[in-house]
Amino acid sequence: MWGCGALLGARAGLRLCRELFLAWDRGWSAAAPYSASTEPSRVRALVYGHHGDPAKVVELKNLELAAVGGSDVHVKMLAAPINPSDINMIQGNYGLLPKLPAVGGNEGVGQVVAVGSSVTGVKPGDWVIPASAGLGTWQTEAVFSEEALISIPRDLPLQSAATLSVNPCTAYRMLMDFEQLQPGDCVIQNASNSGVGQAVIQIAAALGLRTVNVVRDRPDLQKLTDRLKSLGAEHVLTEEELRKHEMKNFFKDMPPPRLALNCVGGKSATELLRHLAPGGTMVTYGGMAKQPVIASVSQLIFKDLKLRGFWLSQWKKDHSPAQFKELIVTLCGLISRGQLTAPACSEVPLQDYQRALEASVQPFVSSKQILTMC
């Protein structure tokens, strides 16, 4: 059934994949606490042996499935997105680099097939996501240690589950950890159409926060604006509009932002700083423009602005696995209540990975590429 996504179209293929997994799951014997299947499995994975252009160094290969040990979990992957951090990791310019050769992908959702005899936290049929980066999710199935996985509710939308462990976690922590924001306070961000940006809009709305969302000008600007506002964005502005003198009057009608979230750098970050309230904080979590953040001396002295950085991998190192699981539970609650949805996604069968990789680095693409494993 490896070609079902290509035959039926990505979306129809993904629905069929889910139906197949649910049908397979209903066949499990409730009496068996664990299973260690001896049937040979054909594992297909996107592997890179050296760093470079993802479209050139990533290859689709057949791998041998490892044996399931006592503390191991055999997982069939369902879907896995392509994030900017995945691209940076393959290029070799990310803060965390796995030993090569490596399977790509830091995020995704899978279903447990079998567990080792000492596994107690998950069981066959459960849905699981990675507990940390570097797991290698761009493969049809794999054997992971139990501690590398977090169980999530199986009634979550598949796209939301597949994109749960990176962008929404980053958005939530930045909104909660740097300023003590109250309902009615304002947050300003650039790259608002990114996965993190869309999560910020929705989580902020759930918390009663107002948002000013900055995007690059583009041919389909109105379509993007309408989508972001449908997620809860109060204002959507282009970077050019943010630089206009009239913006002084704009902030007379709403409180100046106490928190700015920067994923771009360069002039875009400078403009965010210019509109921050005195004593406010700008948190940088990305550098899409590949330009430094420049803050004037007057902003630091007379406005006492604070410049901070955020990296989810470092947050995980500084906090316990239980605290990360608590974060996931909180986000699952928002999803279940309809307050947090997946970013705009394009589903691509694994065998069409070249198309997905190329699309993921194109400018003005507001749709996240999600690899489906059926």
Residues 6 or more apart in contact with residue 220 via CB below 8 angstroms: 364
Give the number of other CB atoms < 10 A from CB of residue 353.
22
Q: Looking at 34, 48, 94, 285, which residue is catalytic?
A: 94
- Asked if 128 contacts 138 with a C-beta cutoff of 8 angstroms, the reply is no
The three-point CA angle 233-214-106 to 5° equals: 85
Length of the chain: 374
Residues pairing with 345 in the sheet: 368
Q: How many of the other CB atoms lie within 10 Å of CB of 354?
A: 15
- Positive/negative CA dihedral, 293, 294, 297, 302: negative
In whole angstroms, what is the distance from residue 181 CA to residue 64 CA?
50
Alpha-carbon distance of 260 to 255, in angstroms, equals 13
The C-alpha atoms of residue 267 and residue 262 are separated, in whole angstroms, by 11
Check if 353 is active-site. Answer: no
Annotate 188-238 with three-state secondary structure. Answer: EECCCCCHHHHHHHHHHHHCCCEEEEEECCCCCHHHHHHHHHHHCCCEEEE
Report whether 149 contacts 122 (CB < 8 A). Answer: yes
Q: Alpha carbon of 190 to those of 194, 277, 295: distances in Å?
A: 9, 16, 16
Instruction: Tell me the residue ranges of DSSP E strands in the chain.
Output: 43-48, 58-63, 72-81, 102-103, 109-115, 127-130, 141-145, 149-152, 186-189, 210-215, 235-238, 259-262, 281-284, 306-309, 345-349, 368-372
The set of catalytic residues is 94
